[in-house]
Amino acid sequence: MASRTVPLVIAVDGPAASGKGTIAKALARHYDLPHMDTGLLYRAVALSLFRFGGDAASEFEALRAVDGLAQIDMGDEELRSEVVGSLASRISAYPAVRAALLQRQRQFAAQDGGAVLDGRDIGTVIAPNATAKLFVTASAEVRARRRLAELEGRGMPAHYDDVLLDIRARDARDAGRDSAPLVQADDADLLDTSELGVDAAIAAAIALVDARLAIA
Ligand code: DC
């Protein structure tokens, strides 16, 4: 890849189980950039609240859980559980929690060599000037099937109907909140992965970023 004078920042947003994490990791590898999964930050706050006690219905207590972040092992398997994911979706609606996590995400995006970040508000709030923005989506049914396979793969069997309900509830919460809702940025490229396998989705993402680079 030719060296760039302007750092390459790639924002990858999308709903739960859309494939955005897999795509963001692949883009980071392809363009040799560091990657941040910002959903993991919200999940870590949720796990901190869950472990150290606190009421998710209280914005103040959710904010206090941000202080417990240092005690959470970011490789903890529990971070990937559905319970923690749902709790993360709830506490991420609080403006105080979002504000407390803003700086570290912006700093990561602003590092010298560039970066790839994935989440819900990267292209709209965290890195509005990103070089390339992808909004990765797929139908709720496809996402539920993928999430079910992922859960089964980790030895956490679940029922399709429950997973689909959870995905729909999460979509409604993430897109319906007032503070930094999940929304496609005006200048983001839409990538629907409903009909795509992993390799094809990654190839399509690289093609979209390359096209943005060609005009940047
Ligand atoms: O991407 P994920 O499923 O791991 O994210 C968990 C929750 O965190 C998601 O339901 C909403 C919240 N989140 C957010 O509000 N903003 C982000 N940039 C990333 C995640």
190: helix, strand or coil:
strand
Decide whether any atom of ligand 1 lies within 6 Å of the 14 Cβ.
no
Compute φ and ψ for 30, nearest 5 degrees: -65, -45
Give distance in angstroms: CA of 200 to centre of ligand 1.
Answer: 24
Closest residue by Cα to atom 13, ligand 1, is 39
**CA 155–ligand 1 middle distance (angstroms):** 23
Our mutation pick for probing the ligand 1 site, out of 36, 89, 98, 104, counting the most ligand atoms within 8 A of Cβ, is 89
pLDDT in tens, 80-135: 888 898 899 999 999 999 999 999 999 999 999 999 999 999 999 999 999 999 99
Note the pLDDT of residue 186. 96
- For ligand 1, atom 18, the nearest C-alpha belongs to 119
Q: Report the nearest atom of ligand 1 relative to the CA of 93.
A: 15
State the distance from the centre of ligand 1 to the C-alpha of 85, rounded, in angstroms: 8
pLDDT string in tens for the chain (216-residue length): 556 778 999 999 999 999 999 999 999 999 999 999 999 999 999 999 999 989 999 999 999 999 999 999 999 999 988 889 889 999 999 999 999 999 999 999 999 999 999 999 999 999 999 999 999 999 999 999 999 998 899 888 889 999 999 999 999 999 999 998 999 999 999 999 999 999 999 999 999 999 999 987
The secondary structure of 119-178 as a DSSP string is ESSIIIII-TT-SEEEEEE--HHHHHHHHHHHHHHTT----HHHHHHHHHHHHHHHHH-S
**Domains, the chain, ordered by start:** 8-210 (3.40.50.300)
Pocket test for ligand 1, best of 120, 163, 168, 171 (most atoms within 8 A of CB): 120
Total Cβ atoms within 10 A of residue 134: 30
What pLDDT score was predicted for residue 1?
Answer: 52
Contact between 23 and 134 (Cβ < 8 Å)? yes
C-beta of residue 98 within 8 angstroms of C-beta of residue 17: no
Q: Which atom of ligand 1 is nearest to the CA of 43?
A: 6
Whether residue 39 has its Cβ less than 6 Å from ligand 1: yes
- Nearest Cα to 203, choosing from 58, 23, 13, 29? 23
For the chain, the straight-line distance linking the first and the last C-alpha, in angstroms and rounded, comes to 15
Which two tokens mark 4?
Answer: 């760039």
Q: How far is the CA of 90 from the centre of ligand 1 (A)?
A: 9
